[in-house]
Amino acid sequence: MKPTHQLPYLGLLLFSLIPSQLCEICEVSERVHVQLDPLLDTMIQPKYTSVTQSADVLLSLRLIGIQNQNQTIIEALSQQVRNTVERRGLDLSSGQLALIILALGACHTHDETFIFNQHLLGHLENKFKAELENMEEYDGNPLTNYYQLSQDVLALCLFNRTYSTTTVAKLFAPENKNYYLGGQFSVDTGAMAVLALTCVSRSLKEQPKAQEEDLESIENHIRSLVKMILSEKKENGLIGNMFSTGAAMQALFVSSEYYSESEWNCQETRNTILSEISQGAFNIPAAAAQILPPLLGKTYLDVTKDSPCTYASGNSPLSIPVRTTVTPTYSPSLISVHYSVKINKTYSIDVTVPSGSVFLDVMKEAQKENGTLFRFTVEQEEWGPYITSVQGLTANNNDRTYWQLLSGGKPLSQGVGSYAVHNGDNLEVLWSKY
């Protein structure tokens, strides 16, 4: 080989070394592995209530190398995911299907056969096309959102399927409105896009005849998105909020050539997350599943690695702890909260609920008082119950409408099933655009 050809390879080698070094520096050391037990405990449920829950948990457990420790649990999860596909068929969103493919495809197990026998990648290509067609028809609004379009590209890229890199380069320009939800840059979305674009740029570099223009524009997108993600870093090290920090960490692990060491103190971020875990902050399966891999230096780009699913740095592997039984606390006292539904007009009510209640309990109580004004519907999603309609007014992705949750005028970072209400709270559901 001529020296001119060796140079790019050397560059590639260096690029692939930097992220892994960063991961190791930031990994939770073996000494404090017990601090991760609450996450594992939360992730293992007798029954999962949404399509994506079991896939998210399976992907997470496989990435951190549980595979060889607790095979029965992994096998049961994989069975659930495969059953979902067989039951729901094509009635899945593009991102749901992409996530399922990542979960089944991780670790090169016999589940790979299922992906190919069921033609899941071909179906994903079609669903991705349908997202693009919807954008053409509805003013640039996809069927779902850019978080899912990123999952789609990531899965198609990791499994070497066809997609137009020119389309990807156009689609994921940092100024696209779909990176913003409710006027705010969505760190989760930007981070998932960085993972997808990094996969695409790495595979472009491997091709003999690189599409230089696409590659350059994709690399520029990554650079801008990384900047936007870092600008959402808070004083305590969280990036965006607690629930987007895991995705942001993954994005920063794979893109370390785009920022300098002084721009991100990974240990600070990790320590804040560990202290939040000890206070029970990641107490739903989705939250636990998404934060765990980056705490062990793993990213979704590891899914198709040759030797994935083994625990890094020669440490002893993690395993799932035997379930601890929690005794529910008895709370007889009552609290009073103010609740409003805001459309063009405000409809308010004061309700009394037992202390320890969540937002959803307040909505149910209000609905009991007046089933016309406070009528609502929910759907069980990965993160819990999602409010789909209030007073018969239904959220719609084509119009970018949704029911936003607020307390004291501030948007909540949790859903109605998780947010614990306090005496005197001023709760709102607001008909909004994102």
Ligand X SMILES: *[C@@H]1O[C@H](CO)[C@@H](O)[C@H](O)[C@H]1NC(C)=O
Q: HSE on the CB side for 22, CA within 13 Å?
A: 25
- The token duo for 226 is 């990384």
Instruction: Give the whole-angstrom CA distance, residue 225 versus residue 174.
Output: 6
Name which of ligand X, ligand B12, none residue 322 binds, using a CB cut-off of 5 to 8 Å depending on partner kind.
Answer: ligand X
CA 97 centroid distance within chain = 14
Work out which of 118, 319, 340, 407 binds ligand X, going by CB under 6 A. Answer: 319
Does 403 bind ligand B12 (CB under 6 A)? Our answer is: yes
Name which of ligand B12, ligand X, none residue 370 binds, using a CB cut-off of 5 to 8 Å depending on partner kind.
Answer: ligand X
Minimum distance from residue 330 beta carbon to ligand B12 (Å): 26
Q: Which of residues 223-282 bind ligand X (CB under 6 A)?
A: none
Angle at 104 between CA 221 and CA 44, to 5 degrees: 100
Name which of ligand B12, ligand X, none residue 70 binds, using a CB cut-off of 5 to 8 Å depending on partner kind.
Answer: ligand X
Instruction: Give the whole-angstrom CA distance, residue 31 versus residue 148.
Output: 36
Does 70 bind ligand X (CB under 6 A)? Our answer is: yes
**From the CB of residue 21, how many other CB atoms can be counted at a distance below 10 Å?**
11
383 is in an annotated binding site: no
Residue span binding ligand B12 (CB under 6 A) among the ranges 33-41, 194-202, 218-226, 380-388: 380-388
Q: Mask 129-158, x = binds ligand B12 (CB under 6 A)? A: ---------------xx-xx----------
Q: Exposure pattern of 81-107 as b/e (b: 16+ CB <10 Å)?
A: bbebbeeeeeebbbbbbbbbbbbbbbb
**Is the sign of the CA dihedral 176, 182, 185, 191 positive or negative?**
negative
Name which of ligand X, ligand B12, none residue 160 binds, using a CB cut-off of 5 to 8 Å depending on partner kind.
Answer: ligand X
Q: Is residue 184 helix, strand or coil?
A: strand
**Is the sign of the CA dihedral 150, 151, 155, 156 positive or negative?**
negative
Instruction: Give the whole-angstrom CA distance, residue 92 versus residue 369.
Output: 36
Residue span binding ligand X (CB under 6 A) among the ranges 184-192, 213-221, 315-323, 409-417: 315-323
Q: Tell me the three-class secondary structure of 205-263, residue by residue.
A: HHCCCCCHHHHHHHHHHHHHHHHHHHCCECCCCCECCCCCHHHHHHHHHHCHHHCCHHH
Q: Mask 351-370, x = binds ligand X (CB under 6 A)? A: -------------------x
Work out which of 304, 357, 404, 414 binds ligand X, going by CB under 6 A. Answer: 304
Q: Could you list the residues that contact ligand B12 (CB under 6 A)?
A: 50, 52, 93, 95-96, 99, 144-145, 147-148, 181, 186, 188-189, 240-241, 243-244, 287, 290, 381-387, 397, 402-405, 411-416, 418, 434
Binding residues for cyanocob(III)alamin: 144-148, 188, 241, 290, 386-387, 403-405, 412, 434
Q: Could you list the residues that contact ligand X (CB under 6 A)?
A: 69-70, 159-160, 206, 304, 319-320, 322, 343-344, 370, 372-373, 393, 431
